[in-house]
Amino acid sequence: MTERMTGAQALVRALEHVGVDTVFGIPGGAILPAYDPLYDSTKVRHVLVRHEQGAGHAAEGYAQATGKVGVCMATSGPGATNLVTPIADAYMDSVPIVAITGQVTSSLIGTDAFQEADISGITMPITKHSFLVTDAAEIPRTIAEAFHIASTGRPGPVLVDISKDALQADTTFVWPPVMQLPGYRPVTRPHSKQIREAAKLIVESKRPVLYVGGGVHKSGASGELMRLAELTGIPVVTTLMARGTFPDSHPQHMGMPGMHGSVSAVGALQQADLIIGLGVRFDDRVTGQLASFAPYAKIVHADIDPAEISKNRHADVPIVGDCREVIAEMINAVEAEPRKGEYTDWWKTLNGYKETYPLGYEEFSDGSLAPQYVMERLSAIAGPDTYFVAGVGQHQMWAAQFIDYENPGTFINSGGLGTMGFAVPAAMGAKMGRPDATVWAIDGDGCFQMTNQELATCAIEGVPVKIAIINNGNLGMVRQWQTLFYDQRYSNTNLQAKLRIPDFVKLAEAYGCAGLRCERPEDVDAVIKEAMEINDRPVVVDFVVHQDAMVWPMVAAGTSNDDIKIARDMAPKWESEE
């Protein structure tokens, strides 16, 4: 197909051809030519957000809820730099998004022109690839390449920066374009010798663990994971990015590992003689002090990104490949092994951890609300088909710990970058991608104040998300560190909740949303049910909780996982010490 049109029209046409139905953005001078044909598109819906950061996180939420590429758009200079945080966030969490930015006219590039920022340079280290396009003829091919790069191999963000004159110039639109990506050929098929090696270790090991990360759901491999787990009888831990990839209710599920992981998950990794890492990156929040992480374990590490393998922990059996293919082949290889794994003693130890150290929390004698209780009730009342989208802080950890995830991809949060302000716009994007699903954002009172302006977008665009603010009146996670490591010197973490500035209920109403408040445990169920019934506009619930609730268990930063505490100065007793 060839047709004469402007670069801007070619951009919109290319977006239609790659299947884009939703774009989140804000216009401005340099990108304005693109907004004109966008006005006419019947296939692409543009959602006018209130801040470009919101556009980027919305694209991430949309991408994570749908598995498709999320798209955000901004003008040059400040519009583009406002996208830097969500781009970095998407890079850390391997979320496929394409960010399209207008750039100043090509003859002005490098002159410090009005609203000029070298966004392709700025984002080079935080994108899979960043393009600068100054020729209209290259727009369709670049869009095709950007979507291909974002969605294949290890997913991630791609930036397409297009100069204003390229958008305005006349060109010939050619579709499909011929992609020119020499050297970009992600390996998806694992090496069969490595797979056999892994299968041998699996049946020979006495204390194996399947360490499951975000890559498993991203490759659509939760079904294969279930088959491998049930075939072998090996315990499973799911990281923050993998909650729901293996159902919490399954008896082989040991919980989440890491800094705020369960004793059973952390203990399983520490005592393991074999760790099968699938789509994970041995992140410092999981390993704790690296030198003392899982000292007895051999490592099988499968990932689509070869750069992850042996980055933090040496892999005895490195496997480069797509998790779905890797796990499917592992199943065949384990079935072909003449012997079967024998893990009875291991399960005795692990079930002991589970029984002795279940997740729990302190209730307050003054009748105030425990945040963990709010999570438990949200989980029970909203149910396992709900998408939960968290901010960053204590509430995020409680959402990971106390909500039961049964379905892959139903917990969306900022794991790698830890971006406060993620929840409201990401929930908006998730709800637009999955309009029939219930979407609950679990946000902190601090996080909420960073991006709540997108409530206006939600109300106007008809996106009835539900927001639970876990209002402890503090930058709670930082306060927790001050409690534990800074002698309870609460420097600059108190948000003065008693002053109710802002009053979240009134703020919600000002934004065209329903606003509810809940301060007592006995009201929690009724308030959640009331919120569940409001579906004609967004709902914000201000859950006023006790400021001293803490996230336990905890492995203090930089210390060994062996020194996990289940409460202040309380450590579990490991088998070796008994």
Ligand X SMILES: Cc1ncc(C[n+]2csc(CCOP(=O)(O)OP(=O)(O)O)c2C)c(N)n1
State the residues that interact with Mg ion by CB under 5 A: 444-446, 472, 476
Q: From the list ligand X, Mg ion, none, which binds 391 (C-beta under 5 to 8 Å, kind-based)?
A: ligand X
97 and 70 Cβ atoms separated by less than 8 Å? yes
Binding status of residue 446 toward ligand X by CB under 6 A: yes
The residue behind tokens 């989208």 is 389
In whole angstroms, how close is the CB of 393 to Mg ion at the nearest point?
A: 6
Binding status of residue 391 toward ligand X by CB under 6 A: yes
Stretch near ligand X under the rule CB under 6 A, chosen from 3-11, 163-171, 287-295, 445-453 = 445-453
**Spatial distance between the Cα atoms of 493 and 327, rounded to a whole number of angstroms:** 45
Among 332, 456, 339, 443, smallest CA distance to 394 is for: 443
In whole angstroms, how close is the CB of 88 to ligand X at the nearest point?
A: 11
- Chain centre distance of CA 371: 22
Per rule CB under 6 A, count of chain residues that contact ligand X: 19
Stretch near ligand X under the rule CB under 6 A, chosen from 209-217, 228-236, 443-451, 525-533 = 443-451
* Structural tokens at position 466: 């539900």
Of 317, 455, 470, 554, the residue at the interface with ligand X (CB under 6 A) is 470
Of 318, 393, 433, 538, the residue at the interface with ligand X (CB under 6 A) is 393
* Structural tokens at position 571: 């450590």
What kind and span of H or E run contains 320?
A: strand 317-320
Q: Which amino acid is at 426?
A: A
Give the sheet arrangement for strand 70-74, strand by strand: 45-48, 22-25, 70-74, 97-103, 157-163, 129-133
434 or 500: CB nearest ligand X: 500
414 and 240 Cβ atoms separated by less than 8 Å? no
Binding status of residue 379 toward ligand X by CB under 6 A: no
Q: From the list ligand X, Mg ion, none, which binds 240 (C-beta under 5 to 8 Å, kind-based)?
A: none
Of 82, 142, 472, 561, the residue at the interface with ligand X (CB under 6 A) is 472
Q: From the list Mg ion, ligand X, none, which binds 384 (C-beta under 5 to 8 Å, kind-based)?
A: none
Binding to ligand X (CB under 6 A) within 399-428 occurs at 418-420
Give the count of beta carbons closer than 10 Å to the beta carbon of residue 360: 12
**Spatial distance between the Cα atoms of 337 and 352, rounded to a whole number of angstroms:** 30
326 or 397: CB nearest ligand X: 397
Strands 2-6 and 170-174: antiparallel
Binding status of residue 477 toward ligand X by CB under 6 A: yes
Residues noted as catalytic: 52, 114-115, 164, 477
Binding status of residue 475 toward ligand X by CB under 6 A: yes
101 or 493: CB nearest ligand X: 493
418 or 572: CB nearest ligand X: 418
Binding status of residue 458 toward ligand X by CB under 6 A: no
In whole angstroms, how close is the CB of 75 to ligand X at the nearest point?
A: 23
Q: What angle do CA 519, 521, 522 make, to 5 degrees?
A: 105
Q: Which residues contact 64 (CB under 8 A, 6 or more apart)?
A: 95, 409, 412, 426, 430
Binding to ligand X (CB under 6 A) within 166-185 occurs at none
- Chain centre distance of CA 156: 12
* Structural tokens at position 550: 């803490």
192 or 494: CB nearest Mg ion: 494
In whole angstroms, how close is the CB of 241 to ligand X at the nearest point?
A: 16
Q: From the list ligand X, Mg ion, none, which binds 101 (C-beta under 5 to 8 Å, kind-based)?
A: none
The string of DSSP codes covering 231-248 is HHT--EEE-GGGTTSS-T
In whole angstroms, how close is the CB of 123 to ligand X at the nearest point?
A: 17
In whole angstroms, how close is the CB of 493 to Mg ion at the nearest point?
A: 9
In whole angstroms, how close is the CB of 478 to ligand X at the nearest point?
A: 5
Binding status of residue 445 toward ligand X by CB under 6 A: yes
- Chain centre distance of CA 429: 13
Of 395, 431, 466, 517, the residue at the interface with ligand X (CB under 6 A) is 395
Among 387, 369, 51, smallest CA distance to 217 is for: 387
CA atoms 303, 305, 306, 311: torsion sign: negative
In the complex, the residues that contact ligand X under the rule CB under 6 A are: 391-395, 418-420, 444-447, 470, 472, 474-478
